[in-house]
Amino acid sequence: MMLKVAIQMDPIEGVNIESDTTWLQAMEAQNRGYPLWVYDFRTLALEDGVLFCRARPVTLRQTVGDHVTFGDEVKLDLSKDVDVILMRQDPPFDMAYVTATYLLETVHPKTLVVNDPAEVRSAPEKLLVTKFPGLTPPTLISSDPVALGDFHRRHGEVVLKPLHGAAGSGVVRLKADDPNLDALVEIHAMGSRDPLVIQKFIPAVSKGDKRIILIDGEPVGAINRVPAKDQVRSNLRVGGTAQPVELTPRDLEICKAIGPTLKERGLLFVGIDVIGDYLTEINVTSPTGAQQLLRFTGVNAAALMWDAIESKRAG
């Protein structure tokens, strides 16, 4: 099947082609012969019910430092000129990001947007997990310093993180008797009105934070992200190390519990985070880990994603 594909992403000339998941998705599309354009979400424009953007056609090469050639910029009607839009710009999940989902919703599903923009908007990554009680560690989401303090006292050692943060940004571990919670809440409030997430610390994080990739609700494989010594953050962007790992019966149990919801909501390419026996995040905006999964296991999550997209377009 021939699909015309536009990718909404951060500048492609700046990606690390050896580790970036969006790059793998784009290269797989090119290998299938799909025409490709890239665009910045800030060029989206809605006029008289028509959504368009300024986009550039690209030719990609697996050559570090010389990986992309651009064609001339064009104006794309996103309801007519393309079949699929990949929404892959990185968070922060702020109002600009939310507004982009409203705009893309005007063309979906006539033009298939992956992931479904309305469902991305309705599924902040640290909130969606709360729909699955019993799978997550004790967790509180609030801006209220009294509620946050009470949770800290009841659960002892905790992790504090911004609700809409990404890539490990702002994640802090607090011991049971740590006196700094109030100050951290104040500092956060100076720069944001968003709530914070406070979660009971899971000691198993020292052995790694497992990223499991699901395609249309089905797990296809996992990598383990191990934090640096004496660190709580295992994200690869902040010093975590990727390692191969097998899916455990508990991992499969978690995937079975959440998979039907992901599929029903049009969340086709998802990365979940599992620490020990607990689901901690469901990442739907721009999940990573596909290149490491391919390197360790030979499983090409990008190819499986495009197989699923082709099936949906054919249906």
Tell me the catalytic residues: 126, 161, 211, 225, 233, 273, 281, 283
DSSP 227: P
Return d(Cα 280, Cα 198) in angstroms, integer.
11
Return d(Cα 211, Cα 293) in angstroms, integer.
9
Return d(Cα 297, Cα 174) in angstroms, integer.
36
Only one residue has tokens 């910045």, namely: 40
Please report, for residues 36, 109, 220, 250, 300, the alpha-carbon distance to residue 26 in angstroms, rounded to integers and kept in the order given: 8, 20, 19, 32, 13
Cα angle 107-109-112, degrees, rounded to a multiple of 5: 90
Question: Nearest-CA neighbor of 231 among 152, 159, 153?
Answer: 159
Cross-sheet strand order for the sheet of 139-142: 139-142, 196-200, 158-162, 172-174
- Residue ranges in 106-197 assigned as alpha helix (H): 117-121, 145-155, 181-191
Question: Nearest-CA neighbor of 94 among 166, 33, 196?
Answer: 166
Which tokens belong to 145? Answer: 């310093």
Return d(Cα 35, Cα 286) in angstroms, integer.
21
